[in-house]
Each structure stands twice: as C-alpha cells, then as structure tokens.
Amino acid sequence: MPLARPSPAALPAEARAAVLAWYDARGRALAFRGTRDPYAILVSEVMAQQTQISRVVEAWSRFLERFPTVAALAAATPADVLRAWRGMGYDRRALNLQRAARGMVAEHDGQVPRELAALERLPGIGPYTARAVAALAFGTAVGAVDTNVRRVLGRVLGGRDGLAARELQAVSDASVDPARPGDWTHAVMDVGATLCRPTRPRCEECPLVSWCRFAADTAAAPERRPLPRAGRQAREPFQASTRWLRGRIVDRLRDADGTTWTVVEAPIGDHDDAAIEAALGALARDGIVELDPVATRRARLATA
C-alpha cells in the first residue's frame, strides 16, 4: 500500500519576509490598493475577477462615483448597475455585487461585515472574495486563493505536482504574514502575475526561489521547464462565440432607453435570428435582461 504524501508545511517566516520586501520595492502600484474602505475593496475584488487589472482601475473609480456606498448600490436598478459596468464583461458579476449590497442593507445595516463567515454568506460572494476582503479591509489573517496564489504556493511547496485543492486553502491560511495580511495578499498575487507565470516563469527574479521546490526541479532538469504549447488547435474566433454575442446585445440595450423595449435585430456579426434569440433567453435566465412577453427579440435591461 503506497504511503500517503505528507501535508505540505506553510511558508517559513524568512520566505514571507522576502516576499514582503520584494513587494515593498516592486509591487504593482494600483489605485484601489490605496483604500481601506471595505466597500471599495469589495468592488475592486469583484471587478478584478477574470478582467485585466489595467481595465479595472478606471472602471473602479467610475463605478464608485456612481454608487459611492453600499446603500446606493443596493437601491439602484439592475439596469443602472449594468450600465455602470460597461466595458468590464461578465455582467453577472455586477448583479452578484448588487445582490451582496442588498444583503448587507438587509442584514448588516448597510455595512460590509467584518467576520469571514458573514462575508461568505453574502449573496454572490465566494470564498476567494470573502477572504480577500477580510484580509485587505479588516486585517484578518486568512489566505485568498486565486489562480496566481494557487500557482505560487503550489509550485513553492508542491513542486511540479503542485498541491491538491483540499490542501491549498489550509496552506494559504497558514502562510499569511500575521502582521501584514493585506500586503501579503497583494504580494503573493503580484509574484504570480509578474514572475511565477504559467509559462516561462522568471524564477531567477523570484523572492521565493530559495524555498521553491519547483525552481529546484527545473534547475536540475531545465528541459522540463514549462514553455508555451506548440501546435494548439486554432480557437474559435471570438466574434463567433456566444460570449461575444451576449456582450454586443447587452451593449445595445445599455444604449437604449431603459424603460422601453428594444428590438435586437439580426445580424449581429455572423449571428442570425436563432442565435440572438438563444442568447437573449440565456441573458434573461441570468437576470441580466427582461424579454417582451408579446414580441420576439424585444428586450431591455433588467429593471428589478
């Protein structure tokens, strides 16, 4: 019977100190990192999911000008929120953020709760976002595990095999610097985004190289260093995708009068009537649009 692999230890204090020193000198200077307002931090974290940081910075400031408080966001119509979300994509995130705001008004007097369990119970807020807000806004020593953190900790402590999903959260929590949990959260994300990349990682510049099992493995066998894959099959052109079509439909409805029905005419790109009707149906099921009950392909942004 094979022996079970021992659970990986947390990063040692010396490794944490090296990461924080690197972050102090070379971390990304992003506008939303200058706030301690829990609501502003929550907005930035939801925006940063699946979106390039360069796009988030401008959109974050614009969104907060439109909805400066939890109460303002909760009181808005979904259509207003979706208009303010223009250019960010993945529009369900905007509605999830508003659902969370309404939950905070109903249960927390319009304030972002401090307790991790309360954050996790908010509608539309997952474990990563809850932990990021807890660490960044309230100084709670919990680890927020996104794609970058997963890669960094997996490589440092797990080597080429990485870490199992069940291990990652415990290791991340145990590795947080207790004196600077917010800075630690940003620092590990920055190491993953700028140095510990999926392909062609810049191990020689990484503050964790002295503790990294992955770096040691690739130094011993450089031919196994991860490189971009060759010969990938050509991907579907983005304009042929349902995601692209949904985005164009929502943009058309953003530009329309929010209280009247708008005919979404074909073609949109290469998409015909049937594709548009299917996309409208999916958008309606997601709560992003409302469909006219008496006319085909007439819709508006959700009003309630």
In a shared domain, residues 111 and 20 = yes
Predicted local confidence at residue 237, as pLDDT: 66
With respect to residue 233, please indicate whether it lies within any of the assigned structural domains: no
In a domain, 1, yes or no: no
- Let me know whether 186 and 251 are in one domain: no
262 shares a domain with 283: yes
Paired strand residues for 263: 298
- Residue 59 and residue 65: Cα distance in Å, rounded? 10
The verdict on 146 and 249 lying in the same domain is: no
Catalytic residue check, 277: no
Choosing from 226, 254, 273, the residue where a domain stops is 226
Same domain, 279 and 206: no
Residue 231 lies in a domain: no
Supply the pLDDT for residue 124.
Answer: 87
Query: What's the CA angle centered on 56, arms 107 and 98, to 5 degrees?
Result: 25
Gyration radius of the chain over CA positions: 22
What distance in Å separates the CA atoms of residue 260 and residue 198, rounded to the nearest whole number?
47
Q: How far is it, in rounded angstroms, from Cα 155 to Cα 208?
A: 10
Structural domain containing residue 286? 239-301
Ranges in the chain, pLDDT < 70: 1-8, 220-237, 258
182, 294: one domain? no
In a domain, 152, yes or no: yes
Instruction: Judge if 176 and 124 occupy the same domain.
Output: yes
Q: Which of 203, 226, 249 is the last residue of a domain?
A: 226
Examine the domain organization and report whether 216 and 290 are in the same domain: no
Residues 105, 251, single domain; the answer is no
Catalytic residue among 45, 107, 236, 265: 45
Give residues with Cβ within 8 angstroms of 167, minimum separation 6.
Answer: 7, 8, 158
Same domain, 165 and 246: no
The verdict on residue 258 lying in a domain is yes
Residue 3 lies in a domain: no
Within a domain: residue 167? Answer: yes
Does the residue 29 lie in any domain?
yes
* Contact yes or no for 145/128 (Cβ under 8 A): yes
Instruction: List the CATH number of the domain containing 33.
Output: 1.10.340.30
Question: Biggest alpha carbon distance in the chain?
Answer: 68
* 246 plus 214 within the same structural domain: no
Do residues 55 and 145 share a domain?
yes
* Total domains in the fold of the chain: 2
Residue 140, by phi and psi: left (phi above 0), alpha (psi -120 to 50) or beta? beta
Q: Which of 180, 200, 226 is the last residue of a domain?
A: 226
Question: What pLDDT, on a 0 to 100 scale, did the predictor assign at position 231?
Answer: 45
